[in-house]
Structure 1
């Protein structure tokens, strides 16, 4: 990726290091000649250590060794007798010069080693910070938005004019998310064959660290040479999960060839992007599988309803109607009324079953839109309890409505449906001659109206409490068999209807047996000029 430019830049940096070493030795020599020489300072050669140390810290080992050798030769030439010769008249001077040379070389190496460790620490810190940012950015809910943020972060960090992330969806659709100037992104998208590809390095093992990959130049074929003219500045980093390729990071015209740290950084970023893309795929597949599971569950429930819950009341209706039509039997008036009552009760049962199925379908489909108006919830509760008298005939029903109830902004039909299901559920599972209490009160602190339904049934098994309001869920008795009656729709419908009014519903067991179901509905500020709407009877 612009290897000629990188080589020129590297050559210039190399020359600057050695030129700076020579300049530092020259400055120290001038200082010794014009300043130190006048005061006859012993061991003046040690001043060259400053030049060696500065060169080692700034430019590294090579220029530091060069500075030590240049200092040795310069001091011998200009300041050791005989002057301007590379010979030494006093043998002791040889020892001093060699000791200086050894000291300068070791000192330079130590300083250069510290410089290298500092540089490696800074590179590790940079790599860790960038990868942390990539992981945080990939936590965005929408994959394309997350990839756009990651592309911008990497583009700025790697100093490239444009960068794009490409990946394929399971359907085969190619998705591209770019960052940078428009011309650069357009050049990336128009490129046919990249000029360089970063190959993966050796994977980590128990004994060795992983090694970063290296850039490999792609030699175009004769057929693709024309198309590759616009691709000479393009570099590609494959995005893989295991051995499966998901896409690529595409970079345009980096200012210099990446070093080992950049290669490791961009490879790690590509790995994180690959994991995020694969997680998004798995999440969507999991959602689709859950939808299919729920669909199969609904289909099975509907089949069960058709085969049992619908056929049973239909059979009773047909039997009663058939008996009424028999001309050869003289039915008494009481018997005729009994047949008619059976037809009416079973028809009502069918109506409730179909209504619950339709309500659940609207709730699950997100099409539930309450027709809210101002209503008196106390009157609504009393109306629901009155309609349930045939169902609760074998129980003692008590209704307690507080006097300070405010009007509520709600859909009377839907909330009436929820209350109907709760009271009917209490009557279904409570033994005959046990009390069912419906209590309505105003919780001023929480700004809600609470409607509670108490019963003295068997209570709710602790394991069933978290799932009781799930569609098609039926509580399991102590012997491991589902409780009889119903499809497990009523409480799910209650939850959906109440939550559509920004309310809550929950259940808790009572001391001494039984359960308490609670609905809370928020209290809204009613305009002074809007009177409560007339009570609507729930169907």
Structure 2
């Protein structure tokens, strides 16, 4: 590099000398000729690095000027004191310009390096800004260090007690690491270990590593805060669901139990004075309340199994007529309604868990009875389609409210209305129906019924 600068200096001084000799032949005085050498020195300062080249050029220029342009010519002797003063000021001017130019060049180099460092740090910050997930943040930070420094790294996290290493990293025996703390907003979240092959960091590398550590600390702290907030939100939702479930269960279980206790107590206290018809009516009420209570408990148990992922489907070939009749027998309130059954003429037998599908039909029929006035019809229709069997339960009620139509199959979603006999569900029936049907490979949907109310349709594959 120095030889290149020396060559440039020689070329510039040679060009200045030739130009000055040519101007002397044209009659230009030596004061103006001296300006040529000043320009030459300035060019040397601009095209080289360091002030020494400018000073050397200044000295050589003074000697050339003395040799060719002062009396006596072609000697280094000086007879005129004005020439001495002129060359002295020329030399001082050249040295000052060399120093200023060298200082300017150093400042320019520093500013360029600072600009590059700032761009690099900004790029690192941007790469870590939108990364989510603890491992993704750590991996991105180690990739930045590898790309910009060439060093491998290991990151140890305090919260999770996890350790991450760079890809394909294997430390050499005896190689020491340089440790940097990874600080969050309020505490230390981990340690960054750089294996820099026992070589000292330069200032840019140190800034880069510290920036990566700082950005990782902020990102990891942000991730921790986000996870904590999500855990709090989930816990609050869980507590809210539990509260709703307990409140609904306590209310809906108390209703049939009160009916059973009241009817049975009345029979015990006044049984001898009651006629057979009254006793039969009270026994029927007890039976209906017990059936309703059993259905509630069964729905709660099924929802518990679904939430725990323990809804086991035991498929066997079942006759559809038998499953339908079994379901109808568990909804005694249908005997008081205008209930119509439409079944195919041929006998259908498909693979299903008969007990679960019976529970689906019970829930749909019980909902139809609950939300349909006694003078309106209810219909159960079974038909065979290509590759599947379709079950439909239609009612003549008021239909589904628009505000709950989109999430009708979610848990704890109810219309909020109580039936004429005081029964009100807890919003688990349709959620259980959906889970059971989908576990059979089928699907369930809700439409507008031709009877005026709601129509719930679910399908089961034939194979």
Structure 1 and Structure 2 fold alike (TM over 0.5): yes
Q: 1:322 aligns with which of 268, 279, 282?
A: 268
Alpha-carbon contact 1:25-1:71 (below 8 Å) kept? no
Q: Is the 8 A contact 1:164 1:251 kept in 2?
A: yes
- Structure 2 counterparts to residues 371-520 of structure 1, below 5 A: 371-375=314-318, 379=321, 382-383=324-325, 386-387=328-329, 390-400=332-342, 409-440=351-382, 450-476=390-416, 485-508=424-447, 513-520=452-459
Alignment of structure 1 residues 108-119 onto 2, 5 Å: 109=104, 113=108, 119=113
Distance 1:415 1:28, change over 3 A: same
SS of 2:67's equivalent in the other structure is: coil
Structure 1 pair 389–130 and aligned structure 2 pair: CA distance change class (3 A): same
- Taking structure 1 as reference, are residues 338 and 240 closer, same or farther at Cα in structure 2, changes over 3 Å only? same
**1:107 Cα deviation after fit:** 11
Residue 264, structure 1, aligned to residue 211, structure 2: yes
User: 1:175 aligns to what?
Assistant: 161
Give distance in 2, aligned partners of 1:253 and 1:385. Answer: 71
Q: Which runs of 5+ in 2 are unaligned?
A: 24-35, 69-74
RMSD: 4.8
Q: Is the 8 A contact 1:356 1:489 kept in 2?
A: yes
- Counterparts of 1:40-119 in structure 2 under 5 Å? 64=49, 66=51, 69-70=54-55, 72-73=57-58, 76=61, 80-82=65-67, 109=104, 113=108, 119=113
1:363 paired with 2:306, answer yes
**Using the alignment, how far apart are the partners of 2:16 and 2:385 within structure 1?**
92
Matched, 1:296 2:240: no
C-alpha distance in 2, partners of 1:263/1:507? 59
**Is 2:9 the partner of 1:29?**
yes
How many residues of Structure 1 are paired with residues of Structure 2 in the alignment? 428
Contact 1:439 1:453 in 2 (8 A): yes
Distance 1:71 1:502 in 2: 91
Matched with 1:286 is 233
Cα deviation, residue 92, structure 1:
10
Task: Tell me, yes or no, if the aligned pair for 2:437 and 2:458 is still in contact at 8 Å.
Answer: yes
Q: 1:373 to 1:95 in 2, by over 3 A?
A: farther
Query: Is this contact kept in 2: 1:148–1:177, CA < 8 A?
Result: no
1:497-533 deviation per Cα after TM superposition (whole angstroms, max 9, x unaligned): 2343354444355699522334355x47x4xxxxxxx
Residue in 2 that maps onto 1:134 = 128
How far off is 1:355 after superposition?
0.9
Q: Work out which of the residue numbers 142, 156, 164 in structure 1 matches 2:155.
A: 164
**Cα deviations across residues 134-159 of structure 1 (Å, max 9, x unaligned)?**
345x424xx4x435524533542454
How far is the alpha carbon of 1:432 from its aligned partner? Answer: 1.6
Shift of 1:275: 1.0
CA distance in 2, matches of 1:160, 1:322: 88
Q: Distance in 2 between matches of 1:375 and 1:130?
A: 64
- What is the Cα deviation at residue 292 of structure 1? 3.4
